[in-house]
Structure 1
Amino acid sequence: MVSLKVNENIISDVELVIFDKDGTLMDLYIYWANMVNYRVSLAQEKLGFDERDKKDIMYAMGVDLENKRLRSEGPVGLKKREIVMQAMIDSLQELGFKDTYDLCLEIFKEVDRQSIDHLPDIIQPIDGMYALVNALNENDCKIAIATTDKTERAKLAMQFLCIEEKVDFVVGADMVENCKPAPDMVELILKELAMDKRNAVMVGDAITDVEMGINAGLLACIGVCSGLTSNARLKQKTSIVVEDISHIEVV
């Protein structure tokens, strides 16, 4: 067991830390803004809409290019893949492009394949990520990932960051029936790693991350301000909030 020092709080008897991926371990905007851009650019090549329409579609999918941020309501970075794709389909329909489900599905798959060659451009670790992961690993604390991304994509990111051997289990939205804030991901992690919820902590940047941990009855939920959500909004759900994971210390 380890103890975590977060601000003035000491969280004791921790055997498992569950991290969200985007906005918690790695930069949220860089990853998803690029992925959505790749997807919409490929649709633009195939359908021929203009740059203004491209910008509008990206906004509908959750990327605010003008302010260089993700929209707090998502869907990208917050909700599962199918909902993000549906936002693209709906936006294309508004432009007069009908029956684009199969096209969008293939675009998403193709971008998954193409993006493997661009991982250095889209994956950037949050400050303190390596120090915290290494400290937990060295003290025999289990580490898990719970993400709305596909499990395969999350594992790919862990491999690129060279921490895959230190992460004990990865759960994506495709592995559970109900996505965040339902407790399904956490419950699957606890079952797989044979851990007690009273010894597990959730760390995430979204309200849904914190709510998932609360709904699962975890020991504690730590909100980080390095992604989607402000300090004030996170503190509506949990009293333990930090700027980013560099402010979480293993003691």
Structure 2
Amino acid sequence: MPDLIIHNRAYKVTGILFDKDGTLLDFIAMWGCWSESVFEAFAQQLRKRGLTFSSDIVPRLWGTIHGKDGKITDYDRNGPLAMGSMQDLYAVLSWQSYQAGLSWAESMELVQQCKQHADRELERLRPAQPLPGLLAFLASCKEHGLKLGVVTADDTESAERHLAWMGIRSYFDAVVGSDLVELGKPFPDMMQQACGKLSLSCSDTAIFGDTNGDMRMGLAAGAAVSIGIHAAANAATAAQLLPDANEWISGYSQLRIGRRSDEG
């Protein structure tokens, strides 16, 4: 069993599960683009119906952070966009159109139209970008015989597509989205199902994620170690954002797969 070495500490693991957005790929490049398309279409659809929608409320809906030009520049790691399922996001937006004056049925139809518009834009742009150092780390994992999987709040079909866009789908032996489990993160179901598909024990498996929902899932499932990834300036900041992580890293360059006994 190889060692996963983090900050000179070694963990014996036979597999690693990764969250997708913000962990494998650049969250803002991907979901900032998609969210902006959704909100733009949403405002247009309401205006067509003679209803108003203030852009001031947008950051509070899904937990997005915007620049002066309105573009999404960051996100709340504990907010709906980071931690919620796609159905959670649609429900939040449907509630806004219901509050604006539409029936609930009309609200759900409107949100689906906006989602389809944003999906088409995402397919056209394909903005999925792997995080720095990820490809080398995945290659090292495979060289040492680790089984790899993805556990994501996204739908499984979409997750498969995004991994393919980045050219990394072949690294993963299992992909589990929120549509395949009854309870998503922070509950253990997703990790348990992925480990089952990989014939792994959760206690021999590491989990990587960028939200505390990922960390709490790992804790609930009995993961060998839960690693939070965040480009924070210091460990104290990362610990505040991801309090249930066992370890914090700012990038994949801080990791190594090998044998601790081989050092020195």
Q: TM-score, normalised by structure 1?
A: 0.90
Runs of 4+ in structure 1 off by over 4 angstroms are 49-52
Contact conserved, 2:35 with 2:118, CA < 8 A, in 1? no
Instruction: Name the amino acid aligned to 1:29.
Output: I
Match of 1:107 in 2: 114
CA distance, structure 2, for counterparts of residue 72 and residue 218 of structure 1: 21
Match of 2:44 in 1: 45
Point out the more displaced range, 168-177 or 70-79.
Answer: 70-79
TM-fit CA distance, 1:197: 1.8
CA distance, structure 2, for counterparts of residue 23 and residue 55 of structure 1: 25
Contact conserved, 2:86 with 2:155, CA < 8 A, in 1? yes
Contact conserved, 2:156 with 2:177, CA < 8 A, in 1? yes
Task: State whether structure 2 residue 219 is matched by structure 1 residue 220.
Answer: no
SS in 1 for 2:81: coil
TM-fit CA distance, 1:59: 3.7
CA distance, structure 2, for counterparts of residue 181 and residue 230 of structure 1: 21
Task: State whether structure 2 residue 259 is matched by structure 1 residue 231.
Answer: no
Calculate the aligned-residue CA RMSD, in Å.
2.3
Contact conserved, 1:148 with 1:180, CA < 8 A, in 2? yes
Larger radius of gyration: 2
CA distance, structure 2, for counterparts of residue 16 and residue 203 of structure 1: 11
Cα distance, 1:21–1:88 mapped onto 2, change above 3 Å: same
State the Cα deviation string for residues 203-229 of structure 1 (Å, max 9, x = none): 1111010110111011111111149x9
Match of 1:5 in 2: 5
Q: TM-score, normalised by structure 2?
A: 0.86
SS in 1 for 2:227: strand
Contact conserved, 2:156 with 2:179, CA < 8 A, in 1? yes
Match of 1:22 in 2: 21
Match of 1:68 in 2: 73
CA distance, structure 1, for counterparts of residue 119 and residue 2 of structure 2: 37
Contact conserved, 1:59 with 1:65, CA < 8 A, in 2? no
Instruction: Name the amino acid aligned to 1:191.
Output: G
Cα distance, 1:230–1:209 mapped onto 2, change above 3 Å: farther
Contact conserved, 1:27 with 1:123, CA < 8 A, in 2? yes
Instruction: Name the amino acid aligned to 1:236.
Output: P
Structure 2 unmatched ranges of 5 or more: 259-264
Contact conserved, 1:223 with 1:234, CA < 8 A, in 2? no
TM-fit CA distance, 1:174: 0.7
Percent pairwise identity: 23
